Amino acid sequence: QVQLQESGPGLVKPSQTLSLTCTVSGGSISSGSYYWSWIRQPAGKGLEWIGRIYASGSTNYNPSLKSRVTISVDTYKNQFSLKLSSVTAADTAVYYCARTHNIQFDFWGQGTLVTVSS
Amino acid sequence: QSVLTQPPSVSGAPGQRVTISCTGSSSNIGAGFDVHWYQQLPGTAPKLLIYGNSYRPSGVPDRFSGSKSGTSASLAITGLQAEDEADYYCQSYDSSLSGVVFGGGTKLTVL
């Protein structure tokens, strides 16, 4: 059973860069035809797809966030990462990482709350 | 404003049947892209409930079923149980936006 775990700072100052890592266990990030995605959810609101990466490094981003997002992968560590630059309070949310098969998200991390505040 | 439209809330008594609609457009559901459904219990991560419009992952009870027609999709829950009380989200792909899109979510209350 694949498991995913998000990690990173829970507090980021406005205008700085949010950085999170997702560690995958129970399977190789390089095996199978899977993408690996980031999704976020502001408190009390719905889900927003941020972007995804394939083991080869190929990426797709949400057009509304594309100018600020970078997703990278480290196959040796079985991890993938998210960087979101120039954050504001609107970026405060629970951030999830998820395995992506076709376009559905079949395994999710537990989520990590990131608060943007000075 | 979500690309996929869901009712904010639905409710039903234990044992009843409820449906949750998900309305899209010609650039997503109507374009033939699959619809997937997620269940999010309070304080937890979403869980894949239905994929490929109507398929259930292993372990999902057959009380949950999905369908798709035209530019809309539906999730049906029969034999409603207290533990079904959760938020439900539909998801698809939009060719105009070139990305994954979600519905705004529907809160199911079991009366």
Question: Could you tell me which chain A residue has the CA closest to the CA of B93?
Answer: A103
Task: Convert the pLDDT of each residue in B9-65 to its tens digit.
Answer: 999 999 999 999 999 999 999 999 999 999 999 999 999 999 999 999 999 999 999
On the question of pLDDT at A108 being above 80, the answer is: yes
Q: How far apart are CA B85 and CA B89, in angstroms?
A: 13
Q: What are phi and psi of B90, to 5 degrees?
A: -95, 160
Q: Do A62 and B100 touch (CB under 8 A)?
A: yes
Q: Do B45 and A110 touch (CB under 8 A)?
A: yes
Q: Do A105 and B38 touch (CB under 8 A)?
A: yes
pLDDT at B46: 98
pLDDT at B60: 97
Task: Convert the pLDDT of each residue in A24-59 to its tens digit.
Answer: 999 999 987 899 999 999 999 999 999 999 999 999
pLDDT at B11: 97
Chain B contact present for A109, CB below 8 A: yes
On the question of pLDDT at B1 being above 90, the answer is: no
Smallest CA–CA distance, residue A26 to chain B, in Å, is: 18
Q: How far apart are CA A48 and CA A51, in angstroms?
A: 9
What 3-state class would DSSP assign to A88?
A: coil
Q: Do A104 and B33 touch (CB under 8 A)?
A: no
Q: How confident is the model at residue B110 (pLDDT cuts 50, 70, 90)?
A: very high
Q: Do B34 and A63 touch (CB under 8 A)?
A: no
Chain A contact present for B101, CB below 8 A: yes
Q: Do A46 and B102 touch (CB under 8 A)?
A: yes
What 3-state class would DSSP assign to B84?
A: helix
**Beta-carbon neighbour count of residue A81 at 10 Å?**
20
Task: Convert the pLDDT of each residue in B74-107 to its tens digit.
Answer: 999 999 999 999 999 999 999 999 999 999 999 9
Taking chain A, what is the end-to-end CA distance rounded to the nearest angstrom? 39
Q: Using CB atoms, which residue from A62, A106, A108 is nearest to B99?
A: A62
On the question of pLDDT at A70 being above 90, the answer is: yes
DSSP string, B17-50: -EEEEEE--TTTGGGT---EEEEE-TTS--EEEE
Q: How far apart are CA B68 and CA B4, in angstroms?
A: 13
At B14, the amino acid letter reads P
Task: Name the DSSP letter for residue B57.
Answer: P
Q: How far apart are CA B55 and CA B51, in angstroms?
A: 5
Q: Which residues of B touch A52 (CB under 8 A)?
A: 100
pLDDT at A32: 75
Question: How far are the Cα atoms of B12, B18, B25, B84 from residue B93, in angstroms, in the given order?
Answer: 30, 25, 11, 26
Q: Using CB atoms, which residue from A63, A96, A103 is nearest to B45?
A: A96
